[in-house]
Amino acid sequence: MFFLWLYMFYSCAGSCSGLATRGSPAPPRAAPPLPQLPPGEPGEENSLEEQRAAPDAASPISTFFNGSGTKRLPQAIIIGVKKGGTRALLEFLRVHPDVRAVGAEPHFFDRNYERGLAWYRDLMPRTLEGQITMEKTPSYFVTKEAPARISSMSKGTKLIVVVRDPVTRAISDYTQTLSKKPDIPTFESLTFKNRTTGLIDTSWSAIQIGIYAKHLENWLLYFPIGQILFVSGERLISDPAGELGRVQDFLGLKRIITDKHFYFNKTKGFPCLKKAEGSSKPHCLGKTKGRTHPDIDQGVVQRLRDFYRPFNMKFYQMTGQDFGWD
């Protein structure tokens, strides 16, 4: 009955409108207003530029279905890490017909928790039965209160962490900040509490985020390790289909996103989608992705590698994965 009604609805969409305006040309339909997304915080991965550069609007049939369904709290969350590849993963996942995700970062479990779950749920897209609701906010991974808060919402929430060589990640983090604040101190000067002694300044967020083992310990107080998927930021670039296969399996989805969805953009240096969600055009992430890193003193880079090595080894043991950063 539903599909009969749907057929009549779309059949009438063309013919009935003509009957209603016979004798005079139909006025052009105004384009629907763009959704007002909450602005991203400075330094976050979802800049307003990227939101404006989102894929084309969905087809009429997609729009129709997106207007139905129910707003649900997310069953899966990409919780980190900043500059690890979370935006790429989310954009790739949104190609899947059974994934519906918020484009902007809600920052509910770190900055907006006092607004309540009803506010959070209202940010979510509508989903049909069998579809998964998702969001991504990379700062959750390093927020002490986030694990308990997410567990309080649902102990069954599936968590995804995109990790990347912590040294490269720190330099990428600095590069992003430098693009917004060109007068900040050098990477080398921010890295050390004391350059002479070589003591690393772990209070600097660019360094602190990369101590993955420390942050993971906090999450394991509330979630079993099997409920957290660790995605390699490096493999997300070198083998996006392979990593997406693991993610789809983890989420209980059919493996629909495959090699045929990607092409490698040599200019940007990372994979792009041949067709993004709701679009027939190729789609690469915005110009804020793939920035050229500044030259960093190799002695400082080596000191950072030595600093991170024991933490990396512990992280490999905790996750059962060797990410090959050493």
**Beta-sheet strands, E only, within 116-157:** 126-127, 132-136
**How many whole angstroms separate alpha carbon 125 and alpha carbon 285?**
21
Active site residues: 83
In a domain, 183, yes or no: no
Query: What is the count of structural domains for the chain?
Result: 1
Backbone phi, psi, residue 296, to 5° = -110, 140
Residue 28 lies in a domain: no
CA 263/CA 237 separation, integer angstroms: 11
Would 139 be classed as within a structural domain?
Answer: yes
Note the pLDDT tens digit of each residue in 173-220: 999 999 999 999 999 999 999 888 889 999 999 999 999 999 999 999
Within a domain: 220: yes
Q: What is the mean pLDDT of the chain?
A: 82
Residue 214 lies in a domain: yes
**117 located within any domain:** yes
In a domain, 2, yes or no: no
Q: What is the largest CA-CA distance in the chain?
A: 86
- Give the model's pLDDT for residue 326: 81
CATH of the domain at 218: 3.40.50.300
Of the segments 31-45, 62-76, 213-227, which one has the largest average pLDDT value?
A: 213-227
Whether residue 29 is contained in a domain is answered as no
Residue list for the binding site: 83-87, 164, 172, 289-293
Q: Which domain holds residue 86?
A: 70-170+205-293
Q: What DSSP string describes 7-35?
A: HHHHHHHHHHHHHHTTTSPPPPPPPPPPP
Averaged over 88-112, what is the pLDDT? Answer: 96
Which residue ranges are tagged as binding site for 3'-phosphoadenylyl sulfate?
Answer: 83-87, 164, 172, 289-293
